Amino acid sequence: MRKCWMVLAVLACAPVTLPAQTPAWQPAPGHTTLRLWPNGAPGAAPNPAPEADTTTAKDPLIAGRPIIRLGDVSNPTLTLYTPKGKNTGAAVVVFPGGGYRILAIDLEGTEVCRWLNSIGINCILLKYRVPDSGPYPKSDAALQDAQRALGMVRQHASEWHIDANRIGVLGFSAGGHLAAALSTDFENRLYPAIDAADRFSCRPDFAVIIYPGYLALAEKNFELNPAIQVTAQTPPTFLVQAEDDPVHVENSIVYFMALKHAGVPAEMHIYARGGHGYGLRRTALPITGWPRRAETWFHTIHVLPGTGQEPASTH
């Protein structure tokens, strides 16, 4: 009896190990997923809210279908999606949008990876920290995640059959701002180095920015956000936005002009209609054909082989 009481006393004093929190969204089986921060993200708050799909029945459909609005992400990850056919060696790290409050993880994440894989490009989907993780410098959490992700992709480039000199970024809305922030703020890490991944460059080799926000300041006559410092080292960039975007088409226009003045190769497509938040889902509006324009641009800048010339029109 005495031995039983001793065992119970030991168990009562022993630390309790709780099961790891199950993410609200996980990639389909068969994909490599890595935690971004092996010992926890920098400045992580204690006892964060559990990750959750915040979508409700009242949320609007996109092209007739719902989307996953992933919120309260505190444990960021990157997930590798590889082409099932020819692998060209090019890679793109994808930043879903969501106003730095949620991540549209399917509309502007997994669906983008399927498209990139279909044209022979590796896709790395970044599940970065939200909510309220940006825009930088309001918070440096999302930009820390983006910097860390680029370094990790270059660290694993050989293993993943990726050309370390053809790694770009693609972002939507807030993710578009994050792509621009990384394109202009890559020389100094915003966190202390953790391991070998942080010795690799986090400069993207090219950037695709779709209906971005936070680049033009409406309260200052749409001047360029001073936190976005474009230089000659900013990578070649492809921009798409609609004139009727409620987030303001000036976000793309002022960034394009800054790229032009810095001598950075850039291509911009402005459409009359399209609104905001369409991702790659096709509708009757011409703007939803932007992936074909982007694919041509990938050839033009030699991310993909070929000249990038489209067939001559027969009309």
- In this prediction, residue 134 carries a pLDDT of 86
Residue 98 falls in which region: left (phi positive, over 0), alpha (psi -120 to 50) or beta = left
Lowest mean pLDDT among 100-104, 255-259, 309-313: 309-313
- Helix intervals (H) in 136-173: 141-155
Mean pLDDT for the stretch of residues 125-136: 94
Chain-centroid distance of CA 272 in Å reads: 26
Omega before residue 96 within 30° of 0, cis? no
Dist CA 165 CA 90 (whole Å): 8
Q: Which two tokens stand for residue 248?
A: 């303001």
Instruction: Specify the DSSP element, H or E, that contains 33.
Output: strand 32-35
Dist CA 50 CA 236 (whole Å): 38
Mean pLDDT for the stretch of residues 164-171: 98
The answer to the question of residue 110 being in a domain is: yes
Q: Which two tokens stand for residue 281?
A: 């889902």
CATH number at residue 202: 3.40.50.1820
Contacts of 9 (CB under 8 A, 6+ apart): none
- In this prediction, residue 146 carries a pLDDT of 98
The answer to the question of residue 309 being in a domain is: no
If you ran DSSP here, which 8-state letter would residue 89 be given?
Answer: S
Mean pLDDT for the stretch of residues 281-286: 96
Residue 117 falls in which region: left (phi positive, over 0), alpha (psi -120 to 50) or beta = alpha
Q: Are 100 and 133 in contact (CB under 8 A)?
A: yes
- In this prediction, residue 309 carries a pLDDT of 62
The answer to the question of residue 12 being in a domain is: no
Q: What is the mean pLDDT of the chain?
A: 91
- In this prediction, residue 21 carries a pLDDT of 59
The answer to the question of residue 146 being in a domain is: yes
Confidence category of residue 108, pLDDT binned at 50, 70, 90: very high
Omega before residue 135 within 30° of 0, cis? yes
Single-letter code of the amino acid located at 216: A
Residue 279 falls in which region: left (phi positive, over 0), alpha (psi -120 to 50) or beta = left
Say whether pLDDT at 311 is over 70.
no
Report pLDDT digits (tens) over 81-95. 999 999 999 999 999
Q: How many domains does the chain have?
A: 1
User: What percentage of the chain carries pLDDT values higher than 70?
Assistant: 90
The answer to the question of residue 27 being in a domain is: no
Mean pLDDT for the stretch of residues 191-197: 97
The answer to the question of residue 164 being in a domain is: yes
How many Å from the N-terminal Cα to the C-terminal Cα in the chain?
94
Where in the chain does DSSP place strands (E)? 32-35, 52-53, 69-71, 77-81, 91-95, 102-104, 122-127, 167-172, 207-210, 216-217, 223-224, 237-242, 266-271
Mean pLDDT for the stretch of residues 101-120: 98
Say whether pLDDT at 3 is over 70.
no
Say whether pLDDT at 7 is over 80.
no
Say whether pLDDT at 223 is over 60.
yes
Mean pLDDT for the stretch of residues 259-271: 98
Structural domain including 189 reads 61-300
Contacts of 173 (CB under 8 A, 6+ apart): 97, 98, 99, 108, 210, 211, 212, 213, 247, 276, 277
Confidence category of residue 310, pLDDT binned at 50, 70, 90: low
- In this prediction, residue 34 carries a pLDDT of 97
Mean pLDDT for the stretch of residues 162-179: 98
Contacts of 119 (CB under 8 A, 6+ apart): 88, 295, 298, 304
Dist CA 256 CA 248 (whole Å): 14
- In this prediction, residue 215 carries a pLDDT of 98
Lowest mean pLDDT among 3-17, 135-149, 284-298: 3-17
- In this prediction, residue 132 carries a pLDDT of 79
The answer to the question of residue 252 being in a domain is: yes
The Cβ-side half-sphere exposure at 23, using a 13 Å CA radius, reads 16
Report pLDDT digits (tens) over 10-56. 333 433 333 455 788 889 899 999 999 999 999 988 889 999 999 99
Say whether pLDDT at 125 is over 50.
yes
